[in-house]
Structure 1
Amino acid sequence: MKKQLLVFLTICCFPFMLNAQMPERTPENIAKYKALCRTHIYKDMKGMYREAGGALIFPFLAPGSNQYLDMLWDWDSWLSNIALRQILLENGTEKDKQEALKYEQGCVLNSLHYGGMDGWIPIWIERNAPSREEMLKTRNPWKSNMHKPTLAQHAAFIVRNMNGDAEWLRDDFYTLQAFVCKYLNFHRHKATGLFYWETDEAIGVDNDPSTFYRPQGSSGSIFLNALMYRELQAMAYLAGCLNLDDIAVSFEKEAAVLKEKVQEHCWDPRDRFYYSVDLNLLPVEKPDIKGLHPGQLFLHVGQPRDYDCLIQRLSVWSGFMAMWAEIATPEQAKEIVRIHFHDTCSFNAPAGIRTLSPLEKMYNVHASGNPSSWQGPVWINVNYLVFRGLVKYGFTEEARELAEKTILLLGRDYERFGALHEYYLPDNGEPVLNKGFQNWNLLVLNMAAWLDGKPFVCEF
């Protein structure tokens, strides 16, 4: 009887067991799912287009799915635009490319419309959003997070695709400078030179444990600093395109200084990885001798701390961002790939890169929308950014592996559900949340084009 029951359960459950595994990484499967991804994405491309209206006075790009139906998001629109340009390169007419331009520029111009002399720009803007003035009545712009440092990069990406024509941006370039200078002047730790999140609100990688529920202003995030390094380089490029050469030089210098500071403070020679750092240290102060007895000892005066931050040895995917930003030295990149990319017990999963190593006690792949879950699940923007870092440093086989895994993951999602999702389980690729999510998932086409040896669009 037990044997018969076992056979019955095996027969009934076997299809489910098959569905719960990633497809085998064979040339036939890669070709099949690559074609499937292209077919669906070409057809659904304009699903990210949104027309002007309400608080959003320019057309723009939206992430897709019901949860993000009519909203402009900061780094989402930037990465979506990179995917959009790949679609247009492969399957767009000149008319299509010209039509897309107003949606691309609109992402930047809508954000700058909400900027001001103080530099603060919101992280997202809804169609029915209140005015900037109304927003600032309910928040302190100096003690809250703002648009991630991807706005200049987004503008630079568009300008580069326009062969260096930045005139559409000239009238708002002061506002863009004010935005970047707000980070430089008010969100940078003086002792280390690193940038920090004010809070853990809407940081993009929502519940990254190096920031999540930590004291305000304490997280010198490697994710944030890598983005900031490229943002400063983008500002230098844009200033040059506008013939503002002195301004370009100043941003180039800031970028060079930041690169040195990240290498100094965020590289861990023990683990051979880049980490976020803890800035939440008590100040070193002179003793106050009033009212104390002669000869009384003062705490720590013999040897106060001589370091300005502490490494947060949490195995978070964003350590790979040092390769994407080209902050890591070639020697460091080699160690990162050898030790961390290849570790299947940590980051390297069948579906791609785990956002947090399962060796961490905080590892959690439960579905969550507020905050989104970044404590283990696979996100396609992570796969893409890690892939780009691998390509930049010449790790071709590793880049191929990650691109193929991403194609299999999303191709199977299209095959089974006719749509993509926001994030996935690392070990079997099962979708977790938000059917219909497009956004940066469409970057799978950029990866596929690279695999095929065809022209591929990449970020600034």
Structure 2
Amino acid sequence: MSSVEIRVSEALRAHLIEGARRSVRAPIGRFRHPWLAPMPRVEERDATSSEDDRFASGDYANALFHHDVSEAAIELARDPELAEACFGSLLCFLDNAAPNGCVRRIEMPFRTRDPEPAKPCMAQLALRAIDGIDDGLARADAARVLPRVVAFAEYLERETTGMHGLLLTPSARASGFDSDVLTAGLPDFSVEGPDTNTFMVLELRAIAELARLLGEDAIARVHAEKAEALAERIETLLWDDAERTYVALRWQHGASGRRDEIVGHRDERGVQRPLRSWISMLPLYAGIAAPDRAAAMFDAVLDPAQHWSPSGVRTVPADDVYFHQAPRVMVYDPRRSERRPVSNWSGPIWVLANYYTYRALQRYGRAEEARELARRTVRLLDDDLRDTGALHECYDDSARGLWPRRGTFISWNVLALTMARGETPILRGEQENF
């Protein structure tokens, strides 16, 4: 596909890059390296403390989030200064890993914020960061990045593999998609879904590539084989021919068959149906889906009555009974024995979901639809910045920013710049995943 650049206003470009620079934090407390928060500090409050947890108010400026920094690095590693912060973030996560290899999903300078494991995204972050810094591979080798990301992958395989041989999602919170219908409200470590397992395929491929670059051919071979075995298992177990989508499973003792284990609901006619979510598209992002399956899924992705909105990809289709675009959702948190507000992934448009869909469209030869999605994403952020002076983490169909109420959300919003350039990332062998 030829590269076609989409115009980004200078105001938006400057806001994203300067916002990312203002999100870089100096070493402090347990963090011995520069690191990257998802947003600059909210100006109205005292910026002297790095211990505050103000997530409920939408202020994420005092913490290091696994998935935010990993995906933002796709764009930010182009800039040497920001690539250093991405690499430093990786080392902060690895330095504070548990003795059993677990890398936790949110870390703060003076304490671990959450005990749940991160998504399998550390090796992907490593590859992105080292491409952007001087002597990146040598520095990664000196910091023992490879054995530490291997230890994390082995922890996930050992501690979170479910009864179907797929990885269990620790919780909707830990997935990063806080209210996603396939996991929210269900017991922790009970769902084997397309998101966690797709990210594990990408992580195993990234470990294989990092090992190859470091001359560790045996490690590379083992992890490449694991990646393809897991991809095959996703295709075998999570694809549902009747619904033409990828589903999530919950193992049930005594179930008469796999269909009884699909995470679903009874529709208005009393028929058991799989729940629908944007995360079912993620096997397309990783190139796992067979072409005919990808084509079937794109029918739903590109349908204006379902996922395809004027502002991008709805995270739940608009014709679904569970679709809504509220700014926040109340979800029960068993750690605290209470309901708490979380980000809404049950209908709003997120730049991250737009980016993954954009890359999936590119991968399967849907170039014009990919460009149109890039145009819609850039327009969404341009209009938000012009109208409000800030950017939000999610939006409704009318392009109204939903959350947070204060500050400006940077994080993976920077991927709008990646999309605007129309670039296909450099292929590493056949691993078009970095």
Shorter-chain TM-score bucket reads 0.7 to 0.9
Change in Cα spacing, 1:328 to 1:239, as seen in structure 2 (3 Å) is same
Distance in 2, Cα, partners of 1:384 & 1:259: 21
**Contact 1:446–1:456 (CA<8 Å) still a contact in 2?**
no
- In the TM superposition, residue 106 of structure 1 has moved relative to its aligned partner by 0.6
Change in Cα spacing, 1:326 to 1:122, as seen in structure 2 (3 Å) is same
- In the TM superposition, residue 153 of structure 1 has moved relative to its aligned partner by 0.7
Q: How does 1:328-347 map to 2 (within 5 A)?
A: 328-337=289-298, 339-347=299-307
Matched, 1:430 2:400: yes
AA of the residue aligned to 2:125: H
Match of 1:123 in 2: 105
Match of 1:184 in 2: 157
Q: How does 1:102-251 map to 2 (within 5 A)?
A: 102-129=84-111, 145-161=116-132, 165-170=136-141, 171-190=144-163, 192-251=164-223
AA of the residue aligned to 1:448: A
Change in Cα spacing, 1:119 to 1:45, as seen in structure 2 (3 Å) is closer
Deviations 1:179-207 (A, max 9, x none): 110111221124x2211113333320001
Change in Cα spacing, 1:243 to 1:308, as seen in structure 2 (3 Å) is farther
AA of the residue aligned to 2:313: I
SS in 2 for 1:432: strand
AA of the residue aligned to 2:366: F
Distance in 2, Cα, partners of 1:103 & 1:41: 15
AA of the residue aligned to 2:153: V
SS in 1 for 2:182: coil
**Contact 2:156–2:167 (CA<8 Å) still a contact in 1?**
yes
Deviations 1:192-234 (A, max 9, x none): 2211113333320001111111123221111111111000001
Distance in 1, Cα, partners of 2:134 & 2:364: 26
Aligned length, in residue pairs:
385
SS in 1 for 2:111: coil
Change in Cα spacing, 1:57 to 1:163, as seen in structure 2 (3 Å) is closer
Distance in 2, Cα, partners of 1:445 & 1:242: 30
Determine which structure has the larger helix proportion and give its number: 1
Deviations 1:279-300 (A, max 9, x none): 2x0158xxxxxxxxxxxxxxxx
**Contact 2:77–2:83 (CA<8 Å) still a contact in 1?**
no
SS in 2 for 1:371: strand
Match of 1:296 in 2: none
Percent of paired sites with the same residue: 27
SS in 1 for 2:30: coil
Distance in 2, Cα, partners of 1:418 & 1:110: 32
Matched, 1:260 2:235: no
AA of the residue aligned to 1:385: Y
Match of 2:267 in 1: none
RMSD: 2.6
Match of 1:322 in 2: 283
Distance in 2, Cα, partners of 1:49 & 1:306: 47
User: Which structure 1 residue ranges, 5 or more long, are not aligned?
Assistant: 1-29, 89-96, 285-303
**Contact 2:83–2:132 (CA<8 Å) still a contact in 1?**
no
- In the TM superposition, residue 439 of structure 1 has moved relative to its aligned partner by 0.7
Match of 2:271 in 1: none
Distance in 2, Cα, partners of 1:242 & 1:346: 45
- In the TM superposition, residue 42 of structure 1 has moved relative to its aligned partner by 4.1
Distance in 1, Cα, partners of 2:244 & 2:286: 17
Distance in 2, Cα, partners of 1:282 & 1:198: 20
AA of the residue aligned to 1:223: D
Q: How does 1:232-381 map to 2 (within 5 A)?
A: 232-279=204-251, 281-283=252-254, 305=257, 309-310=261-262, 312=264, 313-337=274-298, 339-368=299-328, 370-381=341-352
Distance in 1, Cα, partners of 2:262 & 2:424: 44
- In the TM superposition, residue 174 of structure 1 has moved relative to its aligned partner by 2.4
- In the TM superposition, residue 350 of structure 1 has moved relative to its aligned partner by 0.9
- In the TM superposition, residue 270 of structure 1 has moved relative to its aligned partner by 1.8
Match of 2:420 in 1: 448
**Contact 1:222–1:276 (CA<8 Å) still a contact in 2?**
yes
Change in Cα spacing, 1:363 to 1:159, as seen in structure 2 (3 Å) is same
AA of the residue aligned to 2:211: A
Change in Cα spacing, 1:164 to 1:258, as seen in structure 2 (3 Å) is farther
Q: How does 1:9-20 map to 2 (within 5 A)?
A: none
Distance in 2, Cα, partners of 1:331 & 1:397: 19
- In the TM superposition, residue 459 of structure 1 has moved relative to its aligned partner by 5.9
SS in 1 for 2:402: strand
Larger Rg: 1
User: Which structure 2 residue ranges, 5 or more long, are not aligned?
Assistant: 1-5, 43-58, 265-273, 330-340
Alignment partner for residue 53 of structure 1, among 4, 28, 32?
28
Match of 1:100 in 2: 82
Change in Cα spacing, 1:104 to 1:120, as seen in structure 2 (3 Å) is same
SS in 1 for 2:172: coil
Change in Cα spacing, 1:249 to 1:283, as seen in structure 2 (3 Å) is farther
Distance in 2, Cα, partners of 1:34 & 1:394: 28
Deviations 1:48-71 (A, max 9, x none): 211111121110111105311121
Matched, 1:62 2:37: yes
Distance in 2, Cα, partners of 1:306 & 1:45: 45
SS in 2 for 1:41: helix
- In the TM superposition, residue 265 of structure 1 has moved relative to its aligned partner by 1.1
Change in Cα spacing, 1:164 to 1:240, as seen in structure 2 (3 Å) is farther
**Contact 1:266–1:311 (CA<8 Å) still a contact in 2?**
no
Distance in 2, Cα, partners of 1:73 & 1:249: 30
**Contact 1:449–1:456 (CA<8 Å) still a contact in 2?**
no
Change in Cα spacing, 1:106 to 1:239, as seen in structure 2 (3 Å) is same
Change in Cα spacing, 1:315 to 1:201, as seen in structure 2 (3 Å) is same
Distance in 1, Cα, partners of 2:378 & 2:362: 17
Match of 1:14 in 2: none
Deviations 1:71-100 (A, max 9, x none): 1110100112122135x3xxxxxxxx2x33
